[in-house]
Structure 1
Amino acid sequence: MTSTHEEVGYLPPSKPVEHTPISAASGVEEVIRMLEGRWKLVILFHLFGGKLLRFSDLERAIPAISQKMLIQQLRQMEADGIVTRLVHHQVPPKVEYGLTDWGQSLCPSLDALLKWAAARPGS
């Protein structure tokens, strides 16, 4: 049986994990659920590259999103370990958002998805 990690390259060769079609599908579905949400991918792409952005920077960068929705999406992504919230204890208070190392590691996977989508027959 082929290890899924050999195909997608997310684990070092020293730590092989055997997946069945069911366990592989389950793992991918879990990740898709984490990235579900109208604005999560947009937020991710704004934060890629190690950027730290304040809430107001994200609001300006994504003008169509409401404050409530931005807060909700950031909290969900923080709870999932994708985004980190850095609080600077100063006056006035300063809070910045960035990607965790794990969140930043999504970049190559999303780039691969973009290339895959662009190669769609008939597009």
Structure 2
Amino acid sequence: MDKTSTHLFVPIPHEEREICLGANGSVAHVTRVIRMIQGRWKLPILFRLYADPSMRTLKLKRDLPGVTQKVLTEQLRQLANDGLIERIDFGELPRRVEYQLSEMGRQLLPVLIAMRKFSVSHLS
């Protein structure tokens, strides 16, 4: 390692650096999770679904003032594709669809709460 390349320095034994760096390292996994929750409405949707076990799209739209139907639909689709929420289609007419957290989405809650605690403890 070049002595001026300090961005590659990881304070763990050389053999364990792949835990942090590389294609399967921590950076890749943390970046993946951030991508899953990135977006103006994804966190509000997730927290709303933490509070209520199952919700219809219209109720979510009412509870998230300012979100458009198009953006809400896109964000719900992305969250479902990433496995954080589940879309339940009841196959009824008129159409009835509800969203709920998946098991993976429920497992994310302690991480988000830890992030909140970190933020609160580091206020300027």
Alpha-carbon distance in structure 1 between the residues aligned to 2:87 and 2:94: 16
Give the partner amino acid of 1:116.
Answer: F
Aligned to 2:20: 21
Give yes or no for contact 1:50–1:104 (8 Å, CA) kept in 2.
Answer: no
How is 1:75-114 mapped onto 2 (pairs within 5 angstroms)? 75-114=77-116
Task: Quote the residue 1:57 is aligned against.
Answer: 59
CA-to-partner distance for each residue in 1:17-76, whole Å, 9 max, x for gaps? Answer: x95211011110111011111100000000015610000000000021000000000000
Which residue does 1:34 correspond to in 2?
36
Q: Which runs of 5+ in 1 are unaligned?
A: 3-17
Identity in percent: 36
Change (3 A) 1:116 1:55: same
Residue-pair matches, total? 107
What is the TM-score of this pair, normalised by structure 2?
Answer: 0.80
In the aligned structure 1, how far is the partner of 2:69 from the partner of 2:95?
Answer: 18
Moved over 3 A (4+): none
Q: Is contact 1:50-1:99 (8 Å) kept?
A: no
Q: TM (normalized to structure 1)?
A: 0.80
Distance of aligned partners of 1:121 and 1:48 in 2 relative to their CA distance in 1, 3 Å threshold: closer
SS, match of residue 98 in structure 2: strand
In 2, the alpha carbon distance for the partners of 1:96 and 1:119 equals: 36
Structure 2, unmatched stretches of 5+, are: 1-11
How far has the Cα of 1:91 moved from its partner?
A: 2.8
Kindly report the root-mean-square deviation, in angstroms, between the aligned alpha carbons of the 2 structures: 1.8
Return the alpha-carbon distance in structure 2 between the equivalents of residues 98 and 121 of structure 1: 32
Shift in Å, 1:90: 2.1
